[in-house]
Amino acid sequence: MEIIYTALGLGLLTGFHCVGMCGPIALVLPLNNKTWGTKIFSALLYNIGRTITYATMGGIFGIIGAGFSMAGFQRWISIVMGAFMIATVIFPKINHMLYKGTGDSKFMNMIKKQLAKYFQQASYKSLFITGLLNGLLPCGMVYMAIAGAIAVGSLQGSILFMALFGLGTIPMMFLMSMLGNFASFKLKRVINKAIPVIVIVVGLLFILRGLELGIMFISPPAKKLEVHKMKKDTTVQGETKYINKSAGASDGK
């Protein structure tokens, strides 16, 4: 349950962040402005497209997280991903390196060309595809969400995490498309100052989750493998006794 709240909270925070970063894209979207209904539907299509891309990322990186979990590294990957989140705040150059590594790649240049192509159109299809492509653009907050998705440790959980993250970004991006650049410069400054703090808090939550300290909702206790093994052994012994007893009864006949 804490994972759900974390994903939605991170998404909502990212939505505020996007007002200053990705907001210009939302402002110039070629929405269908014939009626308020068509305008709203157009904006929703764009944002649903972004959310689908985030959920797909959750599936891709969820495979990695699930692999670590199956190998018995679940708690350690949660700690490492949490530490990574905190490190990006303490050492901003990490984010710069991530941007440099992805933003100038051939794949990303192709995405940007496709975005420019669909921006010239004003159809529902083009808006949906624009949202899909926009979800692939380099973004520090998306990197944080991906780290969280890997730390979840399961394919379904990672998909859910990224889908909820995407849904959390929709309210602010939707309002941006509908009402324009309504956020004041002062509000943007406050949000930008709050983002590093929230990222550190989320990172700490993942570290605590990996430490398995027995704190309800924050750091659940480790599974009692010894107890599980004892129960299993007891069950096996019980089945053996039952089989021996049945065999004895059969011999008696």
How far, CA to CA in Å, does 111 sit from each of 24, 107, 166, 177?
17, 6, 19, 22
* Cβ atoms within 10 Å, residue 253: 4
**What's the half-sphere exposure (Cβ side, CA atoms, 13 Å) at 168?**
24
pLDDT at 182: 56
Average pLDDT over the chain reads 78
* Cβ atoms within 10 Å, residue 66: 19
Question: What is the pLDDT confidence band of residue 128, given thresholds at 50, 70 and 90?
Answer: very high
Higher pLDDT, 166 or 21: 166
pLDDT digits 0-9 by tens, 75-115: 888 899 989 989 988 988 887 777 666 666 788 889 888 98
Residue 219, strand partner residues: 215
Burial zone of 59 (CB within 10 Å; 0-12 exposed, 13-18 middle, 19+ buried): middle
Higher pLDDT, 122 or 149: 149
List Cβ neighbours of 207 (8 Å cut-off, separation of 6 or more).
Answer: 78, 79, 82, 83, 86
